[in-house]
Amino acid sequence: MDNIVAFGEILMRLSPPDHLRFFQASSFETSYSGAEFNTLASLQNWGLETQFVTKLPDNDFGNKVISEISRYRVGQKYIAKGGTRLGIYFLEKGSAIRPGKVIYDRADSAVANIEPGDINWEEVLKEAEWFHWSGITPGISRAAAQECLRACRVASKMNITISCDLNYRSMLWKWGKEPKEVLPEILALTNVILSDLATLFKMLGKEKIDPDYSMPETLGDYYEEVLAKCPKLEFLPTTLRYSKSASHQKIGGIMFSAGNIVTSEIKEIIPIVDRLGTGDAFMAGIIYGLSQEWDTQKVLDFAVASSCFKHTISGDINLASLDEINAIMQGDLSALVKR
């Protein structure tokens, strides 16, 4: 499998250097990223062929994003041009007991105002084998939600595997509907969902739950309830994150598939260089592993290792080679200098 398409938004990320707070910054480090694109950049880096679909303003920043996508060799030929602005997010990195902070300034972006016909999904997906979306996109605007649904319907009709990183952001969803009014229809078409169970239940409009991941054997009923709502679901991986501080994280994973549950060892990363994009790195790991038709344990272990490695890299994108992730997966955390 090597033709993966994703739809989503790329934002300009503006972040004070070093450990400075917004109040202190007289400059911002600038990069361009988005959950779905970050995932594709990893996959392309690992040797798969990818296409990213979005809408960009027809100005210097739209061009800049095209260049950034190309820099990771991700395809960009189906991107629509138009609208007025590129969305922005401001990131203040945390440290030790001080939390990181995100301020979104993404209203009215080109993607938020995407229009039917901007993307010809039949054309985009004609050679695709996989379609990926994330829960961020339908949270942006009604138009983005509709486009996301449209894409999934086409993909589903073409029997293309659909994956989703549920990525719930409470600061989005200001456009008039709640997730549970929108997402169930799209999730029902989706084959792979990365989410914790509590969030997924919430998104599906179900009751509040508090699953105990330390006892996987107690989770079966939850998974069954999800399957009832998401009949196409084949894989349901979950990132298990234990946040000791902004500089100290522990990452593990659990994955349900065809009635079986596998869990992965928990790894510790200290200190953290950049936490953003570690979920996207997990998602990329899952897609890559499935594309290689590995067994579910290996798929999950690879995703956990990918996510762990990302914590050591600046920016949102997991610049890790397959060799580097394999070394982590095999338990070598000693990080001896290669020379």
- CB burial of 13-33 (b: ≥16 within 10 Å; e: otherwise) equals bbbbeeeeeeeebeebeebbb
Tell me the three state secondary structure of residue 302: helix
Min CB(197)–a second copy separation in Å? 18
Min CB(219)–a second copy separation in Å? 23
Q: Of the candidates 47, 96, 126, 330, which one interacts with a second copy according to CB under 8 A?
A: 96
What token pair was written down for 280?
């996207």
Q: Of the candidates 117, 231, 293, 336, which one interacts with a second copy according to CB under 8 A?
A: 336
What number of chain residues touch a second copy (CB under 8 A)?
81
Q: Of the candidates 115, 244, 265, 330, which one interacts with a second copy according to CB under 8 A?
A: 244
Q: Of the candidates 120, 178, 270, 292, which one interacts with a second copy according to CB under 8 A?
A: 270
Tell me the three state secondary structure of residue 19: coil
Task: Give, rounded to a whole angstrom, the gap between the first and last alpha carbons of the chain.
Answer: 35
- Which is nearest to 247 in space by CA: 227, 225, 275, 208? 275
* Amino acid of residue 46: W
Separation in Å, CA 97 to CA 126, 246, 251, 275: 49, 6, 18, 14
Min CB(52)–a second copy separation in Å? 14
With CB under 8 A as the contact rule, which of the stretches 90-98, 115-123, 127-135, 214-222 interacts with a second copy? 90-98
Examine residue 312 and tell whether it contacts a second copy (CB under 8 A).
yes
The residue written with tokens 């030790």 in the block is 96
Nearer to a second copy, 18 or 207 (CB): 18
Residue 174: exposed, middle, or buried by beta-carbon count in 10 A (0-12, 13-18, 19+)? exposed
Examine residue 276 and tell whether it contacts a second copy (CB under 8 A).
yes
Examine residue 248 and tell whether it contacts a second copy (CB under 8 A).
yes
Binding positions for a second copy, 43-82, rule CB under 8 A: 59-61, 63-64, 66-68, 70-73
Examine residue 334 and tell whether it contacts a second copy (CB under 8 A).
yes
What token pair was written down for 41?
């950049």
With CB under 8 A as the contact rule, which of the stretches 127-135, 258-266, 272-280, 289-297 interacts with a second copy? 272-280
The residue written with tokens 């196409």 in the block is 232
Min CB(231)–a second copy separation in Å? 32
With CB under 8 A as the contact rule, which of the stretches 157-165, 191-199, 214-222, 314-322 interacts with a second copy? 314-322
Query: What is the dihedral sign for C-alpha 14, 16, 19, 24?
Result: negative
Q: What is the 3-state secondary structure (H, E, C) of 277-300?
A: CHHHHHHHHHHHHHHCCCCHHHHH
Nearer to a second copy, 228 or 270 (CB): 270
Min CB(149)–a second copy separation in Å? 24
Examine residue 105 and tell whether it contacts a second copy (CB under 8 A).
yes
Binding positions for a second copy, 16-35, rule CB under 8 A: 17-31
Q: Are 135 and 203 in contact (CB under 8 A)?
A: yes
Min CB(155)–a second copy separation in Å? 27
- Which is nearest to 310 in space by CA: 333, 266, 332, 279? 279
